[in-house]
Amino acid sequence: MTTVDRPVRGRRAGAPLTADDWVRAGLELLAEEGPDALRLGRLCERLAVTKGSFYWHFTDISAYRATLADAWAARRDQQRRRFAAQRGMDPVERLQALMAELVRPEHWPLERAMRAWAMTDEAVADAVRSSDERLLAEIRRAFVDHGFDEEDAMLRACLLCNAGLGLLHQPHGGTVAPAPVRARVLDILMRR
């Protein structure tokens, strides 16, 4: 079964499509083929439905694309909230947990696609930028909790985020930094 023939994960065969089904299909297509694949015909083909089904849920492709950007940001914010909920943990352990979560390769295709899309769509760029700022604030908080002043904490948070983005955009999808390498990077950033 090709990805085109495959039903959207989690959808019961024969069940009416929901807006969430369209969003899941769009995020999957975006991760697999990039922003240029987000065309109505391509989405309908993937879901094996007519365009009428799309217009039942969305006014036009622009509204759909905005919904996709919001859905991606909501997923990232869910990760950030899990990290924020761990504020009672040791800051180093919090950052280790965050790094382990964010370097999981299954996140990378969609993350790369969103950032590529953000280069050509200002609304998507705003969603990516806002999400990054919220995540950066949580990482900065961990450095402050470890005893750094605001300025040092922000510098270290920026370095950690940019190192992660650098790995994300390596040719061939980057490589997952092994746990000992991640620990060493964090050890260096935690030094006074």
Looking at the structure, tell me whether residues 87 and 182 fall in a common domain.
yes
d(CA 62, CA 86): 37
Q: With bands split at pLDDT 50, 70 and 90, how would you rate the model's confidence at 2?
A: very low
What total of structural domains would you count in the chain?
2
Looking at the structure, tell me whether residues 161 and 136 fall in a common domain.
yes
- Long-range contacts: 118-121, Cβ < 8 Å, 24+? 120/35, 121/35, 121/65, 121/69
Percent helix, strand, coil in the chain, to 5, is 75, 0, 25
| Range of the structural domain that residue 36 is part of | 1-58
The CATH number for 27's domain is: 1.10.10.60
Looking at the structure, tell me whether residues 172 and 97 fall in a common domain.
yes
Any domain includes 64: no
- pLDDT for 7 equals 45
- pLDDT for 179 equals 75
pTM over 0.85: no
- pLDDT for 169 equals 58
